[in-house]
Chain A
Amino acid sequence: MGNIRIFLRFFDCLFMLIAVLFSSVFAETEVKITARIIADEVPLNREVHLKVSATWNGPANSIKFFPLDPPTTTNLKLASTATANIVKSDSGIVSSTRQYEFLFTGETLGMAYIDEVILRYHDADLQEHVLRTARLPLKIIDPVRDSGGKSIEQISIALILTVGIAAASFFFFYKRKRAAREVENATPEKSYYEKALDDLHNKINLQTSDIGSQYAEISRIMWHFLRRRFDLQPAVGTTEELMKKLEFHHVPMEDRTALQEMMQACDLAKFSGGGTDPNQLVRIYEITKQLVEKLENKANLDSAD
């Protein structure tokens, strides 16, 4: 008899344990509903933002919600709705949130009202429950300056500036790259003496019929050479002025005479309206070449001394 009592008592405890376990698993889940408007004074040209949240502990699918109708409003027009499920886990406890968002626009200035939000749901036991929120008042006030346009303007300016800076940067880098390439490819600069001889060789055509232009070119080449050779000032610009300057630089008489002959022949061709002698062109060319070499050799000798 005593053993049966002990045995019965054991089964009681076991049943109680199982019941507790079941009750913890199948206990009723608490769902909490909140309804909130972001601001209670909303400009006429802004939206009224209503957030309705239902939160409970447990997985999201443990509560089955009925479709939620937008609440009845006064002086408001529904603009859009949105729904979201949020599930969080904190220290092993899972909590879920079903969030509803409603956007309204004010119809006129003055008070506006959002009536109760009615939320229906089934729990895990398929028990139907209803939750309601309170009526929410708010005020529709004067519209404010539209910052949306200003931001578009700012964005446009920023865009233009960005494009401009990008273009300038590109141009600058391209130019730098090109200059670097030119420096790489550039051949060493010739001396004024080498340039004079090169120009005489490459630019003078002794066979051409346009003799006047060849005299003019010979004159130009020689002037360029003499300016560099004797460091002539811009004030020295004519044959007579040149001769005086060369005398000052102690250029030998024979060289000055040859140079004067050459310059006067070029002046005749340039300023006499066609008084050119094709036979003399070759002679003047040779005189020029010899003078360039002679004057440069003298310069080298002088500097060696």
Chain B
Amino acid sequence: MNVDIQALNDKVQKESAFVQNLTEEIGKVIVGQTYMVERLLIGLLANGHVLLEGVPGLAKTLTVNTLALAIDTKFQRIQFTPDLLPADLIGTLIYDQEKREFTTKKGPIFSNLVLADEINRSPAKVQSALLEAMMERQVTIGENTFKLDDPFLVLATQNPIEQEGTYPLPEAQIDRFMLKLSVGYPSREEELEIMRRMAGGGTPTVQPVVSPKEIISARNTVGDIYLDAKIEDYIIDIVFATREPGRYGLEALTELISFGASPRASIFLVQAAKAHALLRGRGYVTPDDVRAMCMDILRHRVLLTYEAEAEEITAENIIQQILAKIEVP
């Protein structure tokens, strides 16, 4: 295949020029968390939703809010509670007594960036309503169907330490999130910087540095990024190794994996790797891009057996073994 890689590289570098400015603008408010910021951008560019897992107080809400301001889009935060109803999420019909007709009141989901905080605290009915909107990118209220805004990104959070009284997302629903990020604590230096900024009072204002149109344009360019056959094979090998580890010389993992990653993993891995390549200013995907995204794509898709849990082996351990074994092209 004859690819004008130079032209593609130029286009990518032009479309990704906003990334530097965006990162700097977000950096005015958020200290560190470069990993989370980059992954949120990848979710935005690859049109995939993100599941964030981290203890409270790690600036998850603040990061998403700042990102929304920097890309000049609407942001809504929804706190999921056990008494939340689907109508609280998507909207409902309200009877207007003056006009004597039902009018549609759209819910908070009608936004560009939606933060579904502690998604596992609401019952399955509410979770389904959200997940359905995520996949369809439209909502039906009464007899009318409403398309959601573009770009549309759902960032759902889960608290890993408080599991009492929660409604854990079933695996089939978790699979709909492109990325699952494990957000950690800031470093010592970062926390020192956070303290100094917050102690000073007042939060810096964030100016929009990129428009939603530019985001959409960059997203379209992601689709044009070149994916070599060797990289395709590499992705397939990694995903298949989660299903048939014995075939790849990983017999020890057979007893530890109950279910491997679905074909959705292959699709998302391609999209995320391309978005990663765009952020690096490249018009082609390298194994670096694939390996950089593997953990976030696969950690919530590789289901473990009781033996693995008993031995305290995590999905991350398994993915690391797979990456070490599968030969890089």
Residues of A that sit less than 8 Å from B by CB: 233-235, 237-241, 267-268, 270-275
Closest residue of chain B to A267 (Cβ to Cβ) is B286
The answer to whether the Cβ of B214 comes within 8 Å of any Cβ in the partner chain is no
Q: Known contacts A234-B324, A235-B320, A235-B324; decide if A271 and B286 are in contact (CB<8 Å).
A: yes
Interface pair A274/B324, CB less than 8 Å apart: no
Q: When A238-B291, A268-B284 are in contact, do A273 and B324 touch as well, CB less than 8 Å?
A: no
Task: Give A238 to B288 CA distance when docked, in angstroms.
Answer: 5
- Among all A-B residue pairs, the 9 with the closest Cβ atoms: A275-B5, A237-B328, A273-B3, A272-B284, A238-B288, A272-B5, A234-B324, A235-B324, A271-B228
Q: Are B226 and A239 in contact (CB under 8 A)?
A: no
Tell me if B147 counts as interface (CB < 8 A to partner A): no
Contact B230 A270 (CB under 8 A): yes
CB distance from A19 to the nearest CB of B (A): 109
B292 at the interface (CB under 8 A from A): yes
Q: Which residues of B contact A268 (CB under 8 A)?
A: 5, 284
Among B2, B230, B231, B286, residue most surrounded by chain A Cβ atoms (within 10 Å): B286
State whether B284 touches A274 (Cβ < 8 A).
no
- Compute how far the CA of A233 lies from the CA of B285 in the bound complex, rounded to whole angstroms: 23
B226 near A273 with CB under 8 A, answer: yes
- Measured between beta carbons, the chain B residues less than 8 angstroms from A271 are 226, 228, 230-231, 284-287, 329
Q: Which of B268-294 contact A (CB under 8 A)?
A: 283-288, 291-292
The contact string, 1 if C-beta is below 8 Å from chain A, for chain B 279-313, is 00001111110011000000000000000000000
How distant is the Cα of A234 from the Cα of B250 in the complex, in angstroms? 14
Q: Check if A272 sits within 8 Å of B287, measured CB to CB.
A: no
Q: A234-B324, A235-B324, A237-B291 are in contact. List 6 more A-B contacts (CB 8 A).
A: A238-B288, A267-B286, A268-B5, A270-B329, A273-B2, A274-B1
State in angstroms the CA–CA spacing of A275 and B287 once bound together. 17
Contact A238 B287 (CB under 8 A): yes
**Judging by beta carbons under 8 Å apart, are A275 and B291 in contact?**
no
Q: B226, A238: Cβ atoms under 8 Å?
A: no
Pairwise interchain contact B292-A275, C-beta atoms closer than 8 A: no
Chain B interface residue count, Cβ-Cβ cutoff 8 angstroms: 25
Chain B neighbourhood of A239, CB < 8 A? 286, 288
In the complex, are the beta carbons of A273 and B5 less than 8 A apart?
yes
The smallest beta-carbon distance between B41 and chain A, in angstroms, is 18
A sample of 25 cross-chain residue pairs with beta-carbon separation below 8 angstroms, ordered by A number, consists of A234-B325, A237-B287, A237-B291, A237-B323, A237-B324, A237-B327, A238-B288, A238-B291, A239-B286, A240-B292, A241-B291, A267-B288, A268-B284, A270-B228, A270-B230, A271-B230, A271-B231, A271-B284, A271-B285, A272-B284, A273-B1, A273-B2, A273-B5, A274-B3, A275-B5
A272-B226 contact given A237-B291, A238-B287, A238-B291, CB 8 Å threshold: yes
Task: Find B288's partner among A234, A235, A240, A274 (CB 8 Å cutoff).
Answer: A240
Q: Is the CB of B286 within 8 A of A275?
A: no
B145 in the interface (beta carbon within 8 A): no
Rounded to whole angstroms, the CA-CA distance of A231 and B325 in the bound complex is 16
* Docked CA distance A233–B320 (Å): 12
CB distance from A199 to the nearest CB of B (A): 19
A241 contacts which chain B residues (CB < 8 A)? 288, 291
Compute how far the CA of A241 lies from the CA of B289 in the bound complex, rounded to whole angstroms.
Answer: 11
Name the contact of B6 in the complex, choosing from A235, A237, A275 (C-beta under 8 A).
Answer: A275
Interface string of B52-83 (1 = CB under 8 A from A): 00000000000000000000000000000000
* Nearest neighbor of A235 in chain B, beta-carbon distance: B324
Give the contacting residue for B284; candidates A234, A237, A275; CB below 8 A: A275
**Distance to closest chain A CB from B285 (angstroms):** 7
Chain B residue nearest in CB terms to A237? B328
| Cβ contact within 8 Å between B286 and A238 | yes
What is the bound-complex CA distance between A275 and B285, given in angstroms? 13
**Contact partners of A233 in chain B: CB under 8 A:** 324
B292 contacts across to A, CB distance below 8 A? 240
Please measure, in the bound complex, the distance between the C-alpha atom of A239 and the C-alpha atom of B226, giving whole angstroms. Answer: 19
Question: Chain B contacts of A274 at CB under 8 A?
Answer: 1-3, 5
Residues 1-32 of B, flagged 1 when their CB comes within 8 A of A and 0 if not, give 11101100100000000000000000000000
Q: How far, in angstroms, from A77 to B95 measured CA to CA in the complex?
A: 124
A233 to B328 alpha-carbon distance, docked (Å)? 13
Closest approach, in angstroms, between the C-beta of A220 and any C-beta of chain B? 11
Q: Which residue of A lies closest to B292 (CB)?
A: A240
Question: Known contacts A234-B324, A235-B323, A240-B292: does B230 contact A272 (CB below 8 Å)?
Answer: no
Interface positions, chain B 210-244, Cβ under 8 Å from A, are: 226, 228, 230-231
Residues from chain B with a CB closer than 8 A to the CB of A273 are: 1-3, 5, 226, 228, 284
* A240 / chain B contacts, CB cutoff of 8 Å: 288, 292
Could you tell me the distance in whole angstroms from the C-beta of B126 to the nearest C-beta in chain A?
A: 41
How many Å lie between the Cα of A238 and that of B234 in the bound state?
13
Residue from the set B6, B284, B288, B291 with the largest chain A CB neighbour count within 10 Å: B288
The chain A residue sitting closest to B6, CB to CB, is A275
B277 to chain A, nearest CB (A): 10
Please give, as numbers and ranges, the residues of chain B lying within 8 Å of A275 by CB-CB distance: 3, 5-6, 9, 284
Note all chain A residues with C-beta closer than 8 A to B231. Answer: 271
